[in-house]
Amino acid sequence: MADATVDRFRKLLDIGLALSTERNSVRLMEKILNEAKTMCNADGGTLYRVVDEDRRLRFEIMRNDSLNIYNGGTSGNEITLPPVELYDPLTGEENRHNVASYCALSKNTISIDDAYEFDGFDFQGTKKFDEATGYRSQSFLTVPLYNNEGRVIAVLQLLNAQDVNTGKVIPFAAELQPFVEALAAQAAIALDNQLLVEAQRQLLVSFIELIAGAIDAKSAYTGGHCQRVPVLTDMLAEAAIEQKDGVFANFDMTEEEQYELHIAGLLHDCGKVTTPEYIVDKATKLETIYDRIHEVRMRFEVLKRDAEIDYLKSLQKTDDEVEKARLEQVYKDRLQKLDDDFGFVAECNVGGEFMAPERMDRLDEIAKETWTRTLSDRLGIGHEELTRKKAAGEEPPLPVTENLLSDQAHHIFDRKDKSLFDEDNPYGFRMTPPENMYNQGELYNLKVKAGTLTEEDRFKINDHIVQTIIMLDQLPFPRYLRKVPEYAGGHHEKMDGTGYPRKLGAEDMSWPARMMAVADIFEALTAADRPYKLPKTLSQSIKIMSFMVKDNHIDKDLFELFLTSGKYKEYADKFLKPEQIDEVDISQYVTDQAAQ
C-alpha cells in the first residue's frame, strides 16, 4: 500500500475521532467541511442541511479561500441565500436540475471536472456569481451524508480542487473520492447523533418550558416568573464567567453546565403545581375555593328576616301607639346593628387593616350572636367534608342554634406529611410545620393580623420548594444535569442560614445556587404582572436588595457583580416597563474595588 494511501487512512481515522468527540452541531459541521477541503486541497466548499421535512437544502456553511468568504457556522456572518428546493413547490416534482438537490435525491456522489463544459445541471446561478466576483467555479465534488436509516441529512459540496505544487485548479482526483465518501459516512453518523441529542435536549427544554408556562398560567399572581428567572440567572452566570479578576476570576462554566443551570431555572418552582390556587390567590381571609363571606352574609340576612318577623308578630299583640313606636325603633336599631356588624366582618375579611386587639374583641362579640339552622349540614356535601364532620361527633337534633361566627372541628385538616419534617428526613428539610395542614375556622381566619394568609396558608405556599426538591429528586437526571435539584432547590435559602427548607448557609451553597436566589428576588420585586401589588422601580428594587445584603440574606459579591456588570440594566431594558426604569447610583451599594 502506497505511503499516501496509508497517510489518508490514518488521517481518516483521526478525523473520525475528532468528529465523534464534538458536542456542538455547528462546530461539527465546520469540522466536516474543513477536513474535506483539506483532504482534497479544495479552494472552497459548502455544507447544506436537509430541513423542512426533507423538502429543502439549507445553506449552513460557505467557505472560499481565494475570495476570503466565510459565512455561516461560527463565523457570525449570515448566509442570505435562499434554500435549495428538493421538490418543485407547485408540481411536487423532484428538482434534478441543481447538482446539490440531485445529489440529495439520488444519494449519489457527483464529480464534475468543469462546470462550464458540463450541461447536465443548471449552473446559471454559479456563472452569475463568477461574473460578479471574477472567480471561475470549475471543478465540483458533491457528496451526500446519509444516516443509518438511509435518509440524507446533509450534502457536502467541494469546489475547485487545486494542484498542491502549482495551485492550479484541477478536477477532483478519482482516487480521493472513496476517502471523501468514507469521511462523509463518518460525518453523517456523528452529525446525525449530535442532531438527535440536540433534538432531545430541545424537546426536554420545550417540555420544561411548557410546565413552567402552565405554572405561570395557573395563577395571575405568578405571571411570567418561571420564564424570567432562568433568563436572569443565565445573565448572572455570564457576568461571572466574564470576570478576569476578583472573586469570580476563576469562575467558569462549560456549555453543558450553563445548560444545566438554565434547566434548573426553568424548574425552580415546579413544586407550585401542588399549591392550591385558592391559597396562592387568596384575596380575602375567608376565601377557600370560594369566598365564605357569602355564607356569613346569608346568616346576617336570616337574622334580619328574624328581626322583621319578631317585629311584625309583636305589632299584632298591641294597639298601643307608643308601644308600636318603641317596637319600630327596636326593630330599626336591630337592623342597623346587624348591618354595622356585617360591615365590620366584611372589612376584616378584606384584610386591608391591621387586626388590633380591640378589633379581635369585637369579632368575638359578634360571634356570640346566634342563629337557628333547621336543615342538616351533612346533606349534599363531599365525602371528605362529611368524614371530617362525622369525626367531630354525632349530628345534633334539628333545629340547631349556632354562633354567627365559629371555629369548628370540621374546619381542621390534619397534617399527613409530618414525616417529611422529622429530624432524620432523607431530604435534609429543617422546617417546623404548623400542627394542622389547614385551619379554615372562621374566627381563626378573620383574626389574621395582617394580609389574608394564616400560618398554615403561608407554610403551604412555602412548601412549594419542598415539593420542588421531592419532585426533582425522583427524576433520573443524566450526568450533565445532576446538579439541577441543588440549584433549583436553594433559591429560598439565605446566606446566614435562616432560609428554607434546609437552612443552608453561604458555605453550603454553590455560586449557581446563590445566583438563582438573587434572580428570584429581583424578578419578584420588579414583576409588573402581579395583580396584588404595584411593580417597584429599578432603584427601589436595588435598594431593597441592598438591605438584604446587609442582613446577610443574599450574597454580597453576587449583588455587586449584578450591579457593576450592568446586568440589572440589561434585564430591565428587556422586561421592565419604561416607567419602572429610573436612574440607579450603584456607587452607594458597591465597594470601590468592585466598581472599578
Most distant CA pair in the chain: distance in Å? Answer: 134
The residues, ordered by sequence, that sit 6+ positions from 590 with a Cβ below 8 Å of its Cβ are 560, 563, 564
Same domain, 308 and 246: no
Q: Which three cell numbers stand for residue 130?
A: 463568477
> One-letter amino acid identity for 109?
T
Same domain, 432 and 370: yes
- Which of 410, 429, 445 is the endpoint of a domain? 445
Q: Are 106 and 95 in contact (CB under 8 A)?
A: no
Query: Which has the closest alpha carbon to 182: 3, 15, 37, 63?
Result: 15
Q: Is the preceding omega at residue 399 within 30 degrees of 0, hence cis? A: yes
The residues, ordered by sequence, that sit 6+ positions from 140 with a Cβ below 8 Å of its Cβ are 99, 110, 111, 112, 115, 157, 158, 159, 172
> One-letter amino acid identity for 465?
I
For residue 205, is it within any domain?
no
Same domain, 149 and 7: yes
For residue 229, is it within any domain?
yes
CA distances from 512 to 125, 485, 491 (A): 51, 12, 10
> How high is the pLDDT of residue 65?
94
For residue 44, is it within any domain?
yes
**SS3 of 540, please?**
helix
Residue 291 has what DSSP assignment? B
> How high is the pLDDT of residue 485?
94
Same domain, 156 and 23: yes
Phi, psi of 354 (to 5 degrees): -60, 135
The radius of gyration of the chain from alpha carbons, rounded to an integer in Å, stands at: 37
**Separation of alpha carbons 29 and 35, rounded Å:** 10
> One-letter amino acid identity for 474?
Q
Same domain, 7 and 156: yes
Same domain, 100 and 239: no
Same domain, 187 and 245: no
> How high is the pLDDT of residue 591?
78
> How high is the pLDDT of residue 341?
97
> How high is the pLDDT of residue 15?
65
CATH number at residue 477: 1.10.3210.10
Q: What is the pLDDT along the chain (596 residues), one digit of tens a residue?
A: 456 665 666 766 666 666 666 778 888 888 888 888 988 999 999 999 999 888 999 999 999 999 999 999 999 899 999 999 999 988 999 999 999 999 999 999 999 999 999 988 989 889 999 999 999 999 999 999 988 888 999 999 999 999 989 999 999 999 889 888 888 888 888 888 888 888 888 888 888 888 888 877 776 666 688 889 999 999 999 999 999 999 999 999 998 999 999 999 999 999 988 889 889 888 899 999 999 999 999 999 999 999 999 999 999 999 999 999 999 999 999 999 999 999 999 999 998 888 999 999 999 999 999 999 999 999 999 999 999 999 988 999 999 999 999 999 999 999 999 999 999 999 999 999 999 999 999 999 999 999 999 999 999 999 999 999 999 999 999 898 999 999 999 999 999 999 999 999 999 999 999 999 999 999 999 987 766 667 889 999 999 999 999 999 999 999 999 999 999 999 999 999 999 999 999 999 987 655 55
Same domain, 64 and 117: yes
- Which of 394, 412, 445 is the endpoint of a domain? 445
Same domain, 172 and 235: no
**SS3 of 206, please?**
helix
CA distances from 588 to 243, 281, 539 (A): 21, 37, 12
Phi, psi of 170 (to 5 degrees): -135, 165
**Cell 481565494 sits at which residue?**
66
As for how many domains the chain has, the answer is 3
For residue 459, is it within any domain?
no
Neighbours of 397 (CB within 10 A): 6
Same domain, 232 and 183: no
- Which of 445, 461, 482 is the endpoint of a domain? 445
Same domain, 140 and 10: yes
For residue 455, is it within any domain?
no
**Separation of alpha carbons 440 and 279, rounded Å:** 12
> How high is the pLDDT of residue 348?
96
Exposed, middle or buried, 368 (CB in 10 Å: 0-12/13-18/19+)? exposed
For residue 450, is it within any domain?
no
Same domain, 416 and 496: no
Q: Which three cell numbers stand for residue 417?
A: 406529611
Neighbours of 335 (CB within 10 A): 15
For residue 426, is it within any domain?
yes
Q: Is the preceding omega at residue 501 within 30 degrees of 0, hence cis? A: yes
E strand or H helix that includes residue 463:
helix 455-473
For residue 353, is it within any domain?
yes
CA distances from 370 to 193, 373, 375 (A): 75, 10, 16
Could you list the residue range(s) of the whole structural domain that residue 158 is in? 3-198
Q: Are 114 and 138 in contact (CB under 8 A)?
A: yes
Angle 567-575/225-242 helices, nearest 10 degrees? 150
